């Protein structure tokens, strides 16, 4: 069976005091909880890995540089992330693609760098509102999959997160039918490229205004194996019900 995963992206939020949420989250997890990964801002990574010890919660970063080292002021390498004890890193998030003009080939390079450091890459894809309204969603997804995923994808080194850009932080959520269509399409594309054995085991996450009151509906989709959650992951009281809904799906 594919592993289920609930990933929380804190984005540019949180201080050391926020890490008490990890212990609160631990006490709220169901006995059959899926994998849980929290991705705090880079300055909190080491303290987060220490705070997460004995909780079963894993820690990830929100981005890494595509190069192993060098004159890249302000950037963080995958090996630095791994050195903190983190296990995952998000690459290709729409906010990075937009604000930092990252391209598919940049995301692909970051994923390979993450793998080389022993990290699991959570590779994000998703269409804009303009593309969505023009019915170009599947074409955009196909292009991002082809350009962003390296050839050596495995179920242990890669998680794919579909985040329709128009739904991130807006409160807008695609219908269940739309989510099913895209996730089924992603699985088909993975199967065509990597074969059934690999494709069937790669976790596919949905992200975009996932909240306690809509999580159970989203997780009804057969090819939705979890969620990449933004704002609702900042507080254990909001994130725990989403994790519970995933465990019951």
Predicted pLDDT at 131:
95
State the pLDDT confidence band at 231, using cuts at 50, 70 and 90.
very high
Bigger pLDDT: 249 vs 173: 249
Domains in the chain (CATH in brackets) are 5-247 (3.20.20.70)
Instruction: Given the residues 65, 127, 163, 183, select the one marked as catalytic.
Output: 163
pLDDT tens digits, 149-177: 999 999 999 999 999 999 988 888 899 99
- For range 92-107, the mean pLDDT: 96
Mean pLDDT, all residues of the chain: 96
100 a catalytic residue: no
Q: How confident is the model at residue 192 (pLDDT cuts 50, 70, 90)?
A: very high
What are the two backbone dihedrals, phi and then psi, of residue 7, each rounded to the nearest 5 degrees? Answer: -115, 135
Exposed / middle / buried, residue 46 (Cβ in 10 Å: 0-12, 13-18, 19+): middle
CB 223 within 8 A of CB 184: yes
Instruction: Kindly give, in sequence order, each residue whose CB lies less than 8 Å from that of residue 83, ignoring residues fewer than 6 positions away.
Output: none
Q: What is the pLDDT of residue 6?
A: 98
Mean pLDDT within 89-110: 97
Rounded distance, CA 91 to CA 78, Å? 11
- Clarify whether 102 is annotated catalytic: no
pLDDT tens digits for range 28-55: 998 899 999 999 999 999 999 999 999 9
Contact between residue 78 and residue 45 where contact means Cβ atoms under 8 Å apart? no
Mean pLDDT of 122-149: 97
Query: Rounded CA gap, 138 and 225, in Å?
Result: 19
Three-class secondary structure of residue 161 per DSSP? strand
At CA 205, angle to CA 183 and CA 15, rounded to 5? 155
* Mean pLDDT within 227-231: 96
The whole-model pTM stands at 0.97
Where does the pLDDT of residue 212 fall: very low under 50, low under 70, confident under 90, or very high at 90 and above?
very high
- CA atoms of 111 and 132, how far apart (whole Å): 26
| Annotated active-site residue in 65, 93, 132, 183 | 93
């Amino acid at each position: 069976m594919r592993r289920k995963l609930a990933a929380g992206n804190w984005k540019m939020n949180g201080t050391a005091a926020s890490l008490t949420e990890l212990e609160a989250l631990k006490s709220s997890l169901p006995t059959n909880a899926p994998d849980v990964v929290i991705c705090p801002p880079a300055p909190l990574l080491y303290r987060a890995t220490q705070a997460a010890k004995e909780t079963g919660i894993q820690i990830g970063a929100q981005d890494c540089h595509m190069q192993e080292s060098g004159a890249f002021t302000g950037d963080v390498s995958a090996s630095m992330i791994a050195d903190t004890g983190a296990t995952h890193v998000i690459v290709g998030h729409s906010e990075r693609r937009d604000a930092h003009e990252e391209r598919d080939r940049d995301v692909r390079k970051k994923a390979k760098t993450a793998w080389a450091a022993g990290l699991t890459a959570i590779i994000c894809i998703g269409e804009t509102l303009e593309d969505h309204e023009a019915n170009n969603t599947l074409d955009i997804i196909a292009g991002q999959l082809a350009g962003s995923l390296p050839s050596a994808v495995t179920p242990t080194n890669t998680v794919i997160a579909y985040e329709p850009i128009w739904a991130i932080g807006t409160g807008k959520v695609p219908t269940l039918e739309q989510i099913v269509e895209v996730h089924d399409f992603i699985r088909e594309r993975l199967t065509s490229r990597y074969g059934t054995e690999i494709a069937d085991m790669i976790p596919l996450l949905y992200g975009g205004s996932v909240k306690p009151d809509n999580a159970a509906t989203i997780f009804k989709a057969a090819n939705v194996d979890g969620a990449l959650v933004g704002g609702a992951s900042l507080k254990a009281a909001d994130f725990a019900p989403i994790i519970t809904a995933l465990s019951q799906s």
